[in-house]
Chains A and B, each alone.
Chain A
């Protein structure tokens, strides 16, 4: 079975020079949760944005292929890409506060895609939105629909965003650090919710995060990233074991866990950073 998302040698560079993503390859199978892990600035968000076609103006794609099913997303004409997005590919953003339009009701933001892309009537779309809100375990979905984002809590807003992502039954969801902006107690619930929905709908998820602890909870396979390069790739069991590379093991040690005191943290040793940065520099010299 061919993977649903197949990224080959993706290269993202800044317009003014310098690379952010250095020939990264990864693949996601149907129904798989694939973790994309790294520290801040490792390039994971750039990869996610490149897949979705929403790179910031200052960056551009300078090489590689992003295959979604049979299409190379990077070569698609804009109209075709727009029809794919939303229906087949969706996004769960990092910040539920800014991810919802403060000036529009929840119902509008949940039903607009259903009505526009899937041609549903207003009544049908609203019924579907209600069903989805129930699925993400929101009480009083009728009331929530008629509210504005500022009237909901952060956890509820993130559930709404998750509902929006799953609403058109996409084959792939990109989750960009969906729990980072939430309270620790809420994080676990949201993670569990995402996993449940993903299993129920059979959706593949590209899960971007800096937290290996999170990865351990819900991912099947993992790609570990540093300075825009793939450091390690494999099944969750391998990544989490002693067979992993030094960087990955160091990353695991550096990950805060609430059952460990803070001074038990060991930041990733500098020499590992140096080695990986050196690799990046060699890449840059070979590819100006």
Chain B
């Protein structure tokens, strides 16, 4: 994009995100031990800095003796898969509806705006839980739930930006020039809305990771054996008095992922600002 500059936020945020993606991709190779393997002798093993730690279990073990580090690494997969897929799909749906509402106006706009109003009257977490209970557990349901609930985030912003754009002169020029409405939408309005959408995508991805964590915390994500950060937190909550680290580590990782995405989003916002302000 012309005029975009690299700044430290993009580098750090993007770098961390890239690392997490690599961890997720190479999980089977990277993890020291099988994440599902239970070893009852290692129950609630403390992490490396404590006295009776085991060097092969750097971050300790959970209540079933499973290696925390390996589970953490493998759990990066569902988190990042949901982040990317749900993020992009939500962006597509919300942006499409927002463009339509903003550009078409009239009944279409009224209808879509009413839907947005109704949708946002629901507590999002509860709605997510309901939807997943409806569709059944699994990553696909988590993704669908996120898309169906959070499209309004993109829709609102894109709609108001589209409305602002359509009042500008270059649109009139295009209409006079004989371009069809669809073409105008795609070739004129969309490129101006795109920077905003990209920044929002980063936010959406961080929300997707959080929602996935919440759903797996409540037990409604993937099946209980394969590790998820949220699931590990729920298990860790049970043994919080004896082994607080089992909950703390996955929390830390979620934090890192979410902060990295937010940082990246902020950096992109600053970098794309002169383009935004056209």
Direct A–B contact in complex, judged by CB atoms less than 8 Å apart: no
List chain A positions with a Cβ less than 8 A from chain B: none
Report B's interface with A, CB cutoff 8 A.
none
